[in-house]
Every structure is written in C-alpha cells, then in structure tokens.
Amino acid sequence: EDQVTQSPEALRLQEGESSSLNCSYTVSGLRGLFWYRQDPGKGPEFLFTLYSAGEEKEKERLKATLTKKESFLHITAPKPEDSATYLCAVQLYTGNQFYFGTGTSLTVIP
Amino acid sequence: EAQVTQNPRYLITVTGKKLTVTCSQNMNHEYMSWYRQDPGLGLRQIYYSMNVEVTDKGDVPEGYKVSRKEKRNFPLILESPSPNQTSLYFCASRREEYSPLHFGNGTRLTVT
C-alpha cells in the first residue's frame, strides 16, 4: 500500500537551532515529492518539488533533499516566523493522485 | 492576484440538509480537486477534475458530488450531509498534470 510518513509529529526549536524534518515514502512509481507549509487557518502553500534521488532545492533557511526512500527538510537557523506545519506529498506517474503525510508541526521559540 | 477562492469559510449545518461549497480559481488551471483534512489522517482527495465536464473519484468520494461546467469553478456538493463529514475542506488547482497544487484557504464544515 502506498504510504507517506512524516516525523516527528511535533518539533520545538530555539531560534537559531537547526534541525531536519523527515518524510519517508513507500510508493511505486514516484513522479515527484512536494513540500508544503501550512499556517493556522490557511491552505497549504507550495515550497518545493523534488523529482529524483540526489536532488536538492533551497529557499531562504530551508533546504529539501531526496533519496530513494525519504526526503528531508533541513531548517538552518530558524526564526519564529518559520513556525508552521510542514507537509510532504508524493505524486505517482498515474498523475492524478497526491498522497499526503500528516505533517510536522514546527514551533520556533524566540 | 493569483488565487483559489472558497466559500464559505465556516459552515454549520444539520444532518440531511443539502449544501454546496464553492471554489473558483483565476489562474486558468486545467486541473482542480477537493481534499478533506482530518487530524491524524492528513489530506485526502475527494474528487478531481482534469478539465471541463471531466471528473473522477479520489480516495474518499462517498457522500460527495462535484461538477465542472466552467473551467474556473469546481463546486463540492453534499446532498445529505452526515456528522462524519465534519471536516476541513480544501479546494486546489494546478496548471498541468505534474504541477504543484495551489490551495484555497479552506472551509470548516460542522454537521450536527
């Protein structure tokens, strides 16, 4: 069965304390892996797409990486405004289904 | 501003009373879809549409209907809502088959 698992469920960091969020997947025919940020009361906001093992994408303090079985979202020197829930999703080659993880709730304390 | 607009943002209704949640996008996207988000279950796809008059079921379609008569609009219809449809609903659109999703800000539905 296709599955996407995110860990940890919740993470509290001091401002400036770098860490990583994990998204592991067991799917057949991965077309792309997506990272989203979701703030309370809002819809998920697109961050990155990764297509192949070894690929990396960066945006400000965030860097996403991909292996054959998992993806990491690295947060370097986080700030309180980085507090949000981070979701990952996989899309298969069939194209029309996205499978989402349950997210990691990140809190950055000043 | 490019956006996906859902209405209403909050809705409280009673079991069996038909309701419609509207969704509109101004990006001329081909693909649109509906998701529900429940604690511990993540986002699950209800229905999706690849173009006008073309729709198909997602993972959890039971109790829902959709239509796509115009490219920009994709309403979600609950003909006889039940309490297990209490959830947070998101509409999303994407430009092409393998493009990322753009989400609306959600509709929180409570069915009593």
User: pLDDT (tens digit, 9 = 90+) per residue, A52-73?
Assistant: 999 999 999 999 999 989 999 9
Closest CA to B41 of B87, B80, B92: B87
Q: Which residues of chain A have pLDDT under 50?
A: none
Q: Which residue of B has its CA nearest to A102?
A: B42
pLDDT at A1: 65
Q: Is A93 on the interface with B (CB under 8 A)?
A: no
Q: Which residues contact B74 (CB under 8 A, 6 or more apart)?
A: B23, B24, B25, B32, B33, B34, B49, B66, B67, B68, B91, B93
Please indicate whether, in this complex, the C-beta atoms of B45 and A87 are within 8 angstroms of each other: no
Nearest-neighbour CA in chain A from B49: distance (Å): 9
Q: Kindly state the tokens that stand for A81.
A: 């405004």
In single-letter form, the type of residue at position A37 comes to: R
- Nearest residue to A38 via CA among A108, A105, A107: A105
Q: What is the mean pLDDT of residues B74-102?
A: 96
Task: Give the best residue of B7, B43, B47, B90 to mutate against chain A (max A CB count within 10 A).
Answer: B43
